Structure 1
Amino acid sequence: MEFDGKSVIVTGGSLGMGRACAERFARAGARVLIVSNDKDSVEKAVMEIGGKTTGFVGDVRNSGHMCSAVDEAVVRNGGVDILTCCAGIQRYGTVVNTPEDVWDDVLDINLKGVYLAAKFVIPEMKKRGGGAIVAISSIQSYASQANVAAYTASKGAINALVRAMALDHAADNITVNAVCPASIDTPMLRWAADLFKGDMTQDEMIAQWGKGHPIGRVGKQEEVADLVAFLASDKARFITGADMKIDGGTMAKLGIALPE
């Protein structure tokens, strides 16, 4: 029960990696507030996770919603000790063919969502004597696929923002880190698999992507949640401003192979 008595906010916590993080913290005794704009998935997650988990329906792009979500955590759970920012979307396109409204949506949800959550959480963490913030980024903050200009820009900016917040709030005993996954089996990855699978099944497409990782498979949501939990724990108090890869060895591999 390493998080017994801790108050945790997970944005994007009703699906995917966010849902896995909410479950991981709840199993370890935390009081978890899930924040998402999808009412049905919030209610489903709260019911299935159980324990001390509650939900807040709100948009991470909306300052008023995020302020109210943090207020809800303070009222229900006594404050905020841990913030995990998992809300995110993926859209495809170059800078030429990405519509401006799509660009704005990706940057607002993926990046502004982290800014707004931290903006209202940090003052509450300071009242508690410190805390931990973990943001979900991507290995595409280091190297990009083609045709993902907005997504890659948002993830690179998350890493930069994490470094800035880590410096600004180190004296407040607040750690700030990013987790950078490769392909993880989430509803978002399966949405992408449906776009590109052609004559393959969804599972076949995901298995094909898995072969691009040296370990030979895509990652599991629970594996990401374990890393997030470690960075939010007392075991990681000397880690801040870091961006931690969880990628099955993907970023260790050069695309140019030696001749056989």
Structure 2
Amino acid sequence: MNFDGQSIIVTGGGSGIGRATVLKFAELGGRVAVADVSLDAAREVSSLAGGGSIPLQVDVSDAAQVRAMVDETVAAFGGIDVLCNNAGFGFLGTVADIGEADWDRLMAVNVKGVYLCSKYSLPALARSGEGRIVNTSSYTAAVGIPNRAAYVASKGAVSALTRAMALDHVGQGIRVNAVAPGTVNSPYFNKIVGESADPQAVLEELNGRSPMHRMGEPEEIAAAIVWLASKESSFATGSVLTVDGGTSSW
């Protein structure tokens, strides 16, 4: 796989899966716009990625900020070849528990963010002649898990939107796919473990979700994202690639 000369946006690029994805693209020659709600995090990862990257601060739920992200990337790199819609978050709660404002905020980032980033990147992706979008969904979109109602609903929407966009834009030479990770050793889950009353028990529960008896590593998910963004996956569009250590097979 080679991304020499290609222009790439990774949202949520400041940590976790996004950070690993940025570094993998950079390793393979890509020029990466590291987009994150935290400018400090984006700058740190951009410095690690090297001179071919730029840090951008963006709230993906805000249309004006998303348009600015796209415009700055095109100005810096001359176009966009790959968009990775990775920004997202989750929290505990059933439908009965979740406050309306919390629900709306999660949907704004996890779902509206994919819509906005795709919408404003599509003209540049079409001009590239072989544009690619890779969305970050979740294995929970297919199987569900308890006490994560908003997150599961949002990722179900991401998987469905991936399939719809693949059909809508195939005629423009744009491929749209998604990766569906399992539980990943990331800052999000590290925070859950660290704030729990019994960190060891929570860690064992997270590791026990998969038949491999461990969490995935961000680099393992990044490898799947990069493959879907590469020419090696040229016949894949509308696919949701599950990388969950076998969790959804149980």
Answer yes or no: is the 8 Å Cα contact 1:7–1:31 preserved in 2: yes
Aligned to 1:257: none
Q: Is the counterpart of residue 21 in structure 1 residue 18 in structure 2?
A: no
Name segments (4+ residues, structure 1) moved above 6 Å. none
Aligned to 2:89: 89
Tell me the distance in 2 between the aligned counterparts of 1:189 and 1:199. 14
CA 40–84 in structure 1, closer or farther in 2 if over 3 Å, else same:
same
Tell me the distance in 2 between the aligned counterparts of 1:128 and 1:46. 23
**Counterpart mapping for 1:91-106 below 5 A:** 91-106=91-106
Answer yes or no: is the 8 Å Cα contact 2:137–2:155 preserved in 1: yes
Pairwise CA distance, 1:207: 4.1
Pairwise CA distance, 1:199: 2.9
Answer yes or no: is the 8 Å Cα contact 1:134–1:232 preserved in 2: yes
Aligned to 1:239: 236
Answer yes or no: is the 8 Å Cα contact 2:66–2:117 preserved in 1: yes
Tell me the distance in 2 between the aligned counterparts of 1:177 and 1:66. 20
Pairwise CA distance, 1:191: 1.6
Aligned residue type for 1:124? A
**In structure 2, the residue corresponding to 1:244 is in which secondary structure?**
strand
Pairwise CA distance, 1:212: 2.3
Aligned to 1:167: 167
Q: Is the counterpart of residue 220 in structure 1 residue 217 in structure 2?
A: yes
Answer yes or no: is the 8 Å Cα contact 1:26–1:51 preserved in 2: no
Aligned to 1:58: 58
Answer yes or no: is the 8 Å Cα contact 1:206–1:218 preserved in 2: no
Pairwise CA distance, 1:110: 0.6
Pairwise CA distance, 1:235: 0.9
Normalised to the residue count of structure 1, the TM-score between the two structures is: 0.93
For 1:33-68, what per-residue CA distance to the aligned partner results, in whole angstroms no more than 9, with x for missing partners? 011111211111112222311111111001011111
Tell me the distance in 2 between the aligned counterparts of 1:141 and 1:194. 26
Larger displacement relative to structure 2 (42-51 or 20-29): 42-51
For 1:220-240, what per-residue CA distance to the aligned partner results, in whole angstroms no more than 9, with x for missing partners? 000000000000000111100
Normalised to the residue count of structure 2, the TM-score between the two structures is: 0.97
Greater Rg by CA: 1
**In structure 2, the residue corresponding to 1:142 is in which secondary structure?**
helix
Answer yes or no: is the 8 Å Cα contact 2:178–2:240 preserved in 1: yes
Q: Is the counterpart of residue 198 in structure 1 residue 197 in structure 2?
A: yes
Answer yes or no: is the 8 Å Cα contact 1:36–1:56 preserved in 2: yes
Larger displacement relative to structure 2 (44-53 or 175-184): 44-53
CA 200–58 in structure 1, closer or farther in 2 if over 3 Å, else same:
closer
Pairwise CA distance, 1:157: 0.2
Answer yes or no: is the 8 Å Cα contact 1:207–1:218 preserved in 2: no
Aligned residue type for 1:169? H
Aligned to 2:245: 248
Aligned length: 250
